[in-house]
Structure 1
């Protein structure tokens, strides 16, 4: 019996797994480098890892910025040498079959305590860049009622403003 087709199939699968692992390593490195650049207040390095059409969504409902807006908001922090210092403590990465798009979620140790980041990366000219990032506070389920009470008035006013638009 010819075992060559089975061996070929197994090698193909192993190569695909290896390629995914390598891509995931590159993605981890990109996201880690992005966080490190903020912690070291390296403005050009930080924003160089974003696509030109990148979107950053912060923890405040009003914080939805394109790259230029986010650069303007962030510049004073980087200039003071005190940007933010987020450290990933857990991360999941998922790859599109095309190998050109990835998405991830991560838990972060931050000055706000535990946060969650999630985002999308695109491969541009052979390099991974962050195209979309969302930063969220994590709130234990048993603590949600006081948080809702804290946010209620401000959120209500904000929603009314959005409805008027």
Structure 2
């Protein structure tokens, strides 16, 4: 079991606390979007799914909770897609935003470090914590980040699901 390191730095997005760790078991997932994406991803184990294996039409029920980050290279990512609920929770649409260590926003620099861990580990990661959504202080949230590969076996995208807890 890993010890959770919790990010508590002052941020400009809606997140206030974030704990990130590799998924050891899906038993602790509390929301359907996170469970559903992880179930799809883990069905390919011990291999990793290809990006082309993911068809959004087959996941339409959780589409508002999904986001897609493209791996452009070391410490270089592009936020390709974020569903409506992701925008609500994060506080802004990041679609089309490059994420690099030189980003002026602290939360995006922290995100680069985290995404690098997901890529290097080649495993799914679970995040949980608190967010201030629509002025409601500290709603709890969870997410899962699932790496997928290109035809050469390189991690090319990270598919994620983000949801607030009831």
Q: What's the TM-score once normalised by structure 2's chain length?
A: 0.29
Whose RCO is larger (CA < 8 A, sep 6+)? 2
Comparing both structures, which one devotes a greater share of its residues to strand? 2
Q: What's the TM-score once normalised by structure 1's chain length?
A: 0.30
Quick check: which has more Rg, 1 or 2? 1
Comparing both structures, which one devotes a greater share of its residues to helix? 1
